[in-house]
Structure 1
Amino acid sequence: MNFEDLELDDALIQATTDMGFESPTSIQSLVIPHAMDGRDILASAPTGTGKTAAFLLPACQFLLDFPRQQPGATRVLILTPTRELALQVYEQAKAITQHTNLVCGVITGGINYGTDKETLSQNLDILVATPGRLFEHIEKETADCRDIECLILDEADRMLDMGFSTIVNQIAAEARWRKQNMLFSATLEGGGVNQFARDILNNPEVIEANPSRKEKNKIHQWYHLADDMAHKQALLVHILTTQTSSAVVFVKTRDRLQMLKDFLASKDIPVCWLQGEMPQDKRNAALARFKSGEVPILLATDVAARGIDVPNVSHVINFDMPRKADIYVHRIGRTGRAGAKGTAISLVEAHDFEMIGKAARYMGEPLKSRVIAELRPKNKAPKSTAKKKK
């Protein structure tokens, strides 16, 4: 199948060509026909498989098929859980609409309200927003949701994790005259997403995309046992200086990030970093330095584990293991994007070892250990504490 087969406007097909899309991914070919028929969509797809274009293309086609008759407010609203993801979706929306007259805007926390007012004063066709900031504007009556015809929730599971469900339902109530809804989530498991779907969607088409082997993230994964913090740091320095071209290194807390930043600086290894409660301009600057290749190593807490799409990340390194297996999967999804190869390495002390088994079971594939000859661990792996089923 190619994009012409999906009966998209020539301007949108030209944009997909300009963006280097050769043919629709599995999520795009499954979602776009139903979305263009006006159906509500409840879809799950792994990260890095093209889901952003899966909702943007049919939304843009609708706007082109039914052009605005008079000046007014936003017609398509896309809600994302994080600022980084909002900016990323906005950039893709601009690329997809580059050969049209459609107007796109973005509002997120951390940007001053004057910029928001400028954005909201336009005849916006597509608005990408984080829920908290948009709801502030609704309460101040500086944002009008009455013209919204299509509501799209991206990474709905993450919105639930971040406690946005009440605000999202309130925004949906403000946009009560909408004709279509789309909800995208990494997984459709769990009562939370299903309740969300029942609240917002009407008789949705349920789509679970299993990406083809070509689309699947080709991520090689292994772990190194570490005896203690000094050993772990030595492993990290060795990997960063001998194996990686660009790497995202995940840590569990801001204090840990500070410690590791100072340690790597003492070894003359330049890094940039992302953490929670960081001013938006500094976050954007750090990401820009990393994306451009000016600084090849990005340190991050889990606030950055989802929604950051940086092409050509060669390695993800778990300096600290995450607290849950699904977070492990989202972390390693920062590499191996769009069919490229990637590597994920975990540095594991004894107290973190149980998470290796949990992550392997969650993914349905084993995680094997490797050894660096000059940095062999002195201790053996602890025995699993998981109770065996009778």
Structure 2
Amino acid sequence: MSLDKLKLSKPLITAMTDAGYLTPKEIQAKTMSRILGGQDILAVGPEGSGKTTAYILGVLMRLKYTKDDAPKVLILVADKDRAIAVIDQFISLSKNRDLNIVGLYGTGGVEAEVNELVLGIDIVVATPTRARAIYLKLGLNLSKLQTFIVDDAALIVQQGMQLPVCELARSAGKCQHLVFTEVIHEKLTKMTDQFLNFPTVIEVEDFGDSKTETVAQVLYQVPNYKTKINLLRHLLRDDEVFNKVVVFVNSRLTAQKVAISIASPKEMEFSMFRPLHFDENGFDDFEDFKQSEEARVLVVANQGEGPLNLDGIPFIFHFDVPEEKETFLSRIIKNKENPEEVVAITFATDMELVQVKKIEQSIGQKLELMDLPEELLVEKTLRTKGFDKNRVVKVKAEEPAGGGAYHEKKESNSKNYNYGIGQKAKMTMKKKHS
């Protein structure tokens, strides 16, 4: 497919060609007409699939340049590095246009950022917490917003920034909403349901042509840590099948907790690799575990450990998905010199699905998703307190509650205005230029 199929302007196609874009990615082809049509979109695609370029092209096509003091586009990103990358890509694709864009990510003073905003900005790229902080100080005007974009939404949810995203979306009022993410899960949809209006969901898979040969892979999606423990106990009951198992976790403290949680009355049946305390069941040498007939399950922390020789271990559990995908890949890529059958079983919560997606991209295939056993006890996830759009707001009584010490202000001292930081900045700028 050629770039002409995206129905972009000639200057924009020229800018794309100069930047090295020769053909559109699948997600760009599927989303562009809907972005230009003003629809709300929830787009799902892996890293490198072209999600950022898709919304940048859409914004550059729809944006009408005026000298308004309020931005027309707000893009929320997870951190400073991502904000800088998005701004650089905007600049790369808009060389022939006078684009006013600013990044808000908390490295400078609030006053300086507000002063920049009041000079007139078309596009704001910001972290949710910084944008919300400046908005609450009346420094970020969302009254003329046309497009509200959440970039890498799964990572924003993982960092716990759903509340500022929802508050900013509701404060923006009626506008187009575009959400881009690598994965969809329950916590993400709880956030987007608060502001997306009948969105079109577009999902693409881009595994490429190469496929890595791995050991057998299965994936269990679980809601929380306690359910992981219940599932591990449930599977390990079958000691005939699971006769030699290594369970990988991310930290030594987690390894200790897991080993205690699945403890067996049989001495050394379940143990920890390099235990934290001398009186805990464990092995300091991995080969000792492999040779021990009594030892069936060994819990190993990724933290501070190098690669282990897993030859002869038929079952590998990833109780936690490793933070570095290379750690995971080193264990599941098939060893051609070792023909033994190995099964790798992964437990993943919603927050770990992004790492799972990166692993799937690396091996060029999806992990086989398994249903949770019917008899498994699924623990409830405690709800975190968030913004309730149906909450009742108590209005402060107009009558003073100060008692006998209260007295009316003199008319000359009474204040009947409340300037926000944005209005003060405008007044200051006027004084400077007058």
Smaller-chain TM-score bracket: 0.5 to 0.7
Letter in 2 for 1:61: M
2:21 matched residue in structure 1: 21
Q: Are 2:45 and 1:45 equivalent residues in the alignment? A: yes
Q: Please state how far the C-alpha of 1:151 moved relative to its aligned partner.
A: 0.2
Q: Please state how far the C-alpha of 1:144 moved relative to its aligned partner.
A: 1.0
> What is the correspondence of 1:271-290 to structure 2 with a 5 Å cutoff?
none
Q: Are 2:174 and 1:186 equivalent residues in the alignment? A: no
Rounded Cα–Cα distance in structure 2 between residues aligned with 1:153 and 1:88: 15
1:258 matched residue in structure 2: none
Q: 1:214-244, CA deviations, whole angstroms, 9 ceiling, x for partnerless residues?
A: 6xxx696989xxxxxxxxxxxxxxxxxxxxx
Identity among equivalent positions (%) equals 25
Q: Are 2:67 and 1:74 equivalent residues in the alignment? A: no
Q: Please state how far the C-alpha of 1:204 moved relative to its aligned partner.
A: 0.9
Rounded Cα–Cα distance in structure 1 between residues aligned with 2:362 and 2:7: 43
2:10 matched residue in structure 1: 10
Rounded Cα–Cα distance in structure 2 between residues aligned with 1:104 and 1:2: 29
Q: 1:197 aligns with which of 192, 196, 200?
A: 192
Q: 2:201 aligns with which of 206, 213, 220?
A: 206
Verify the 8 A CA contact 2:99 2:122 in the aligned structure 1.
Answer: yes
Distance change >3 Å, CA 109–CA 67, structure 1 → 2: closer
Rounded Cα–Cα distance in structure 2 between residues aligned with 1:388 and 1:174: 43
Q: 1:310-343, CA deviations, whole angstroms, 9 ceiling, x for partnerless residues?
A: xxxxxxx998999743x65xx54xx9xxxxxxx9
Q: Are 2:31 and 1:31 equivalent residues in the alignment? A: yes
Rounded Cα–Cα distance in structure 1 between residues aligned with 2:81 and 2:100: 20
Rounded Cα–Cα distance in structure 1 between residues aligned with 2:88 and 2:361: 37
> What is the correspondence of 1:65-144 to structure 2 with a 5 Å cutoff?
66-68=64-66, 70-144=67-141
Letter in 2 for 1:153: V
Rounded Cα–Cα distance in structure 2 between residues aligned with 1:78 and 1:322: 35
RMSD across aligned positions (CA): 3.9
Q: Please state how far the C-alpha of 1:48 moved relative to its aligned partner.
A: 1.2
Letter in 1 for 2:190: Q
Q: Are 2:155 and 1:158 equivalent residues in the alignment? A: yes
Q: Please state how far the C-alpha of 1:77 moved relative to its aligned partner.
A: 0.6
Q: Please state how far the C-alpha of 1:206 moved relative to its aligned partner.
A: 0.7
Verify the 8 A CA contact 1:147 1:177 in the aligned structure 2.
Answer: no
Rounded Cα–Cα distance in structure 2 between residues aligned with 1:191 and 1:95: 35
> What is the correspondence of 1:231-246 to structure 2 with a 5 Å cutoff?
none
Letter in 1 for 2:2: N
Rounded Cα–Cα distance in structure 2 between residues aligned with 1:322 and 1:121: 51
Rounded Cα–Cα distance in structure 2 between residues aligned with 1:44 and 1:8: 22
Verify the 8 A CA contact 1:43 1:184 in the aligned structure 2.
Answer: yes
Letter in 1 for 2:4: E
Scaled by the length of structure 2, what TM-score is found? 0.52
Letter in 1 for 2:179: L
Letter in 2 for 1:184: F
Secondary structure of the corresponding residue to residue 42 of structure 2: strand
Distance change >3 Å, CA 122–CA 187, structure 1 → 2: same
Rounded Cα–Cα distance in structure 1 between residues aligned with 2:70 and 2:156: 24
Verify the 8 A CA contact 2:11 2:96 in the aligned structure 1.
Answer: yes
Letter in 2 for 1:35: I
Rounded Cα–Cα distance in structure 1 between residues aligned with 2:191 and 2:307: 34
Scaled by the length of structure 1, what TM-score is found? 0.57
Secondary structure of the corresponding residue to residue 103 of structure 2: strand
Rounded Cα–Cα distance in structure 1 between residues aligned with 2:207 and 2:362: 22
Q: Which runs of no fewer than 5 residues in structure 1 stay unpaired?
A: 224-251, 254-316, 336-342, 349-353, 369-386
Q: Please state how far the C-alpha of 1:20 moved relative to its aligned partner.
A: 0.6
Q: How many residues align?
A: 257
Larger Rg over CA atoms: 2
Letter in 2 for 1:151: F
Distance change >3 Å, CA 45–CA 87, structure 1 → 2: same
Rounded Cα–Cα distance in structure 2 between residues aligned with 1:201 and 1:366: 28
Verify the 8 A CA contact 2:74 2:149 in the aligned structure 1.
Answer: yes
Distance change >3 Å, CA 158–CA 366, structure 1 → 2: closer
Rounded Cα–Cα distance in structure 1 between residues aligned with 2:362 and 2:374: 21
> What is the correspondence of 1:228-377 to structure 2 with a 5 Å cutoff?
324-325=320-321, 328=323, 331-332=324-325, 346=330, 357-358=345-346
Q: 1:15-50, CA deviations, whole angstroms, 9 ceiling, x for partnerless residues?
A: 211211111111111111111111110110001111
Secondary structure of the corresponding residue to residue 358 of structure 1: strand
Distance change >3 Å, CA 124–CA 366, structure 1 → 2: closer
Distance change >3 Å, CA 134–CA 388, structure 1 → 2: closer
Verify the 8 A CA contact 1:152 1:183 in the aligned structure 2.
Answer: yes
Rounded Cα–Cα distance in structure 1 between residues aligned with 2:82 and 2:343: 27
Rounded Cα–Cα distance in structure 1 between residues aligned with 2:188 and 2:361: 28
Q: Please state how far the C-alpha of 1:90 moved relative to its aligned partner.
A: 1.3
Q: Please state how far the C-alpha of 1:136 moved relative to its aligned partner.
A: 1.0
Verify the 8 A CA contact 1:81 1:155 in the aligned structure 2.
Answer: yes
Rounded Cα–Cα distance in structure 1 between residues aligned with 2:214 and 2:77: 32
Q: Are 2:166 and 1:169 equivalent residues in the alignment? A: yes
Verify the 8 A CA contact 2:114 2:139 in the aligned structure 1.
Answer: yes
Letter in 1 for 2:182: A
